[in-house]
Structure 1
Amino acid sequence: MILLSLIFWLLNITIFLSVHLAKVENLALFAYPLTTFILVLTYLYPGKTVVQTANFEGMVSHIFLSLFATSTLCLAFLQSILLGLQNYYLRHRAPAALLKLLPPLQTMEGLLYVFLWLGLSCLSLALISGIWFQANHPELKHTPQIFLSLITWLIICTLLIGRYKLGWHLQKSVLGTTIGFALIFMSYFGTHL
């Protein structure tokens, strides 16, 4: 649970810092209640294991990169939900007041791809350091996490190539981001189950 609360802490910091660069206040509508829920769960069910990093030089930077990649991909996931809802409401002529709360569709889609690029960059660095740790310390046993993270990396690369080379838009972006986030989430939390 502590790991999940750290991811949401980084997510909220990213939203807070991004407000000055782009209109991301809408993401706070999802992020803040989720963060509150995660903090309550962390308080009720505190973790008992702590990652030992003393014997592994550079492990803290790998963990931070992994957490930042996950929180950025979580932001991309939340952005894709908003983008999907906005697209649905535009197609079904929802009340104009609801649509006025969100930036234009093109801006929302551009912001999604900014989050995906940032997430891909951090995930790439986290994968490189994770593969290095796995090769030098086979006792760590992070192979399932690396495998799921690699699949996520491939999905995000495919989304970005599809966007810029093939002109993919909304539905593929939303679906690909959702699958990518689900896999990266499973790589950190599902492998422990």
Structure 2
Amino acid sequence: MTITLLILACAGYAAAGLLCWRHLHGAPVWPVHVTAGVAVAAHLAVLLLAMVEVRSVVIGVGGALSLFAWQAALLLFLAAWRQPVASLGLVVYPVALLCALAMPLLPGGAEAPTPLDWSLQLHVLLSLVAYGFLTLAAVQAALLSFQDHRLHNHRTAGLNTGLPPLQTMERLMFRLIAIGFALLTLAIVTGAVFLDNPLAQHLAHKTVLSVIAWAFFGILLWGHWRQGWRGRTAIRWTAGGYALLIAAYFGSKMVLELVLGRHW
């Protein structure tokens, strides 16, 4: 059953990514919604079966990648019904396909995970949803950079014509960053309140890098609001903050589980 659902999810993500490309060239968007919906639903079923097996939301590196990609795909699937963000699926859905395959391929860690109480589950949930919105913001920044590069080089034909205007793209990027920043703030606060020692040896790198990433996005939002930062400046700050965030979560998790054989 799990293998069948995994194949269905991967096929759905592959189809959704291809249909996103066609949509950028004038095809209707509804086939993207249909295939992405199938993929997200099948991927969720795979994750639920895995979590029932381990009886916890704490999972190994492969499972974390899979869960991370699923919720980014889910957020995009939901947002695309109301906002012109379907083009993000050109990156998000293929990445979700690869991450879905990571769960059965990457080891889950040396120790069995221990169940989390509700407070830490809330912290994990807030963190994952924050990462999801900031992932979409980072993808939006990459497409914005691509679009900006083509415009500055007077190459307006092809893929660029299928994307929303630059101002719309930028406005959506800052909206995603603002939502992600608010959720990341709540995640850091709940971590400080509910974790016994957030600066313990096995959590120090994650905590410090997360706070630095939070500061990056906070400075970017302040600069946009007070100084009018936009364009390439905003893209660079978004990329820097997102890189720190990925290093905080997945970099720390990979070292901790694959090298040291421990869990958070």
Give the structure, 1 or 2, with the largest relative contact order (CA under 8 Å, sep 6 or more): 1
Name the larger-Rg structure. 2
Q: 1:23 aligns with which of 74, 80, 84?
A: 84
Distance across 2 between alignment mates of 1:139 and 1:93: 52
Residue equivalent to 1:84: 145
Residue equivalent to 1:52: 114
What's the TM-score, normalizing by structure 1?
A: 0.92
In the comparison of the two structures, how many residue pairs are matched?
A: 192
- 1:181 matched to 2:249? The reply is no
Question: What letter is aligned with 1:151?
Answer: I
Whether the 8 Å CA contact 2:120–2:195 is kept in 1: the answer is: no
Residue equivalent to 1:117: 178
Residue equivalent to 2:230: 169
Distance across 2 between alignment mates of 1:140 and 1:64: 23
Q: CA deviation at 1:137?
A: 7.7
What's the TM-score, normalizing by structure 2?
A: 0.68
Q: CA deviation at 1:190?
A: 1.2
Q: CA deviation at 1:138?
A: 7.3
Write out per-residue CA displacement over residues 65-113 of structure 1, whole angstroms, 9 at most, x where no aligned residue: 1111111111111000000000000111114232211000000000000
Residue equivalent to 2:187: 126
Q: Secondary structure at the match of 1:65?
A: helix
Distance across 2 between alignment mates of 1:10 and 1:140: 29
Residue equivalent to 2:259: none
Distance across 2 between alignment mates of 1:39 and 1:118: 25
Q: Which runs of 5+ in 1 are unaligned?
A: none
Distance across 2 between alignment mates of 1:91 and 1:180: 25
Distance across 1 between alignment mates of 2:100 and 2:64: 11
Q: CA deviation at 1:143?
A: 2.5
- 1:6 matched to 2:43? The reply is no
Q: Which runs of 5+ in 2 are unaligned?
A: 1-61, 256-264
